[in-house]
Structures are given as C-alpha cells and as structure tokens.
Amino acid sequence: MLLTPDQLAQYERDGFLVFPGLFSRQEIAVLRREVARLSGIESEEVVREHTGGVRTIFRVHETDGATRSAPFRALVRTPRVLRPVRQALGTDEVYVYHTKINTKPAIEGTVWQWHQDYGSWMRDGCKRPDMATFNVMMTDTNEMGGALYIIPGSHKLGRIEPFYDESTAYKFWAIPKARMIEVLKSSPPPVAVTGEAGTCVLFHCNVLHASGHNLSADDRWHIYISCNAVANAPRFGPTSRPDWVVSRNTRALPLEDDDGVLKAA
C-alpha cells in the first residue's frame, strides 16, 4: 500500500491518517489469539493495572524475549504497515522503536493522559521528530470503550514541555493541565478514532493524543508500532531505558510478505 499525494498532504496538515478495514477479520483473529496468550506471561514487558489486569504488553515484534510473537513480527514487516510509515518519515531506512499492545480491560482499563510521543523519545536521545506510530485496532472501538483521541494539526505546535505523570501503572511524560486546556481551547475539536477491528491510524510523534477510561463491557485491544528513522536512532548508555521500551535493534526493516500474519499463525 502506498499513500497517495492527497493522503500525504492530509498527513502533513492533520498529523494523522485513518485506514478503515486495512486488516481482515482473519488476520485480526490471529493477532487476538496472540494477545490472549501474551497476557498470561509474567515479565517486565507486561505492565499491569493496579487492579491486576494487563495495561500494556511491550516488545512483541522480535524473535527473542518473553513476549516474542511470530504473527506480530510479521505484522510490522507487512507492506500495509511499512510502506506508509516510510513515506511519512521520508526514508526507506526505518526501524521499530518499540511495539506496545494497550489492552484496556473492560471497566478497569484506565486513561492515557494527553501527550506527545516525542516528549519521551527526545529524552531517549532522538534528535529529531522523524518518528511516527502505526496503530492497528484488534477490537471494534467506540468512544465508550476508551477510543484514541487526536487533535488535528497539533503536531505543528512543536514539542510542548511535558511533566512526568506518575498517576497510572505505566509512568510517562504528559502535557501539563493548564497548557493542555489552552491548546484545547485554541485548536480544532479532538477526533475520536473509532471503527471496526482492522481499522488503523498512522500519526506523527508530535501530534497530541490521549485515550479515555474503558467503561464498556468489552476489552479494547490496540497495537502501537512506533517507528524511527535509522539515522535518528539514539545513542545507548547506562541510563538508557530498557530494550523493551527503546529497541537496541536499529537495523532497517525489510518489506516482507503481506500475508505474513496468516502464514505465521
């Protein structure tokens, strides 16, 4: 899949693109089985809510480690994912910065506050915002279930100085409340990214995004494939975050089989 000139212009303007039905129900069923399996693993890559339910599963795209997964490894190398990411970043030399599956269990799945991904990634040592995330919805997603919200065009604000939010099970850099209220009042209304399982969204690392509490009766399973230009890879040292958050494998990803998820089942 290649982005059209109009789609590239839309990405430049809004900071995100939505692709309804990009992956089939059969492919999603394979990935869902993997999420169910991975949720039972006890390791540092599996972050749990204070209630015990799984919040996030990291590092599912490699061939080693506790959370390795052949179907997810195949997913990140499919042309449907990798070609749009390459176009958005303006280079074929792209690698996976990290993968994380946000599960948002029914009723207890908690919020992700407003943030920019580059707020964390700059601190990891990435010098430029030549980064983007490709999100694949593995469940039907609506606003009640804790949908992803994006503020169109907010990537053009540049990086906003964040604060370290320790209020949830996974601590990260979020936008201060007062500044966020200013942005919300002066920006287009946030867009709730909803759709059937198999819908995908590609978004810029500086676009402001968040997701709400899952108040529905169903789990909300999304995988976020965060990508970086190889030339933008950070230098690693003793204070670097662990490999399951900031990948040490910075080799450019090859394009592989677009049917790879089904073949890896």
- The string of pLDDT tens digits covering residues 128-157 is 999 999 999 999 999 999 999 999 999 999
Where residue 172 falls among pLDDT bands split at 50, 70, 90? confident
| 8 Å CB contact between 104 and 173 | no
Secondary element (H or E) of residue 81:
helix 79-89
| 8 Å CB contact between 218 and 139 | yes
CA dihedral of residues 58, 265, 81, 145 (deg, nearest 10): -60
What is the pLDDT at residue 53?
Answer: 81
Q: What is the pLDDT of residues 42-63, one digit of tens each?
A: 999 999 877 778 889 999 999 9
What is the pLDDT at residue 169?
Answer: 59
- For 185-196, what is the mean pLDDT? 97
Query: Could you tell me which residues are beta bridge partners of residue 192?
Result: 149
- For 110-135, what is the mean pLDDT? 94
What is the pLDDT at residue 170?
Answer: 65
Q: In the 8-state DSSP scheme, what is residue 159?
A: P
CATH of 5-228, one of 3.40.50.1820, 2.20.28.90, 3.30.750.24, 2.60.120.620: 2.60.120.620
pLDDT above 70 for 80? yes
Residue 59 to residue 62: CA distance in whole angstroms? 7
Paired tokens of 124: 């990891």
Secondary element (H or E) of residue 27:
helix 25-38
* Domain parsing of the chain, residue ranges: 5-228
DSSP reduced 3-state for 226: strand
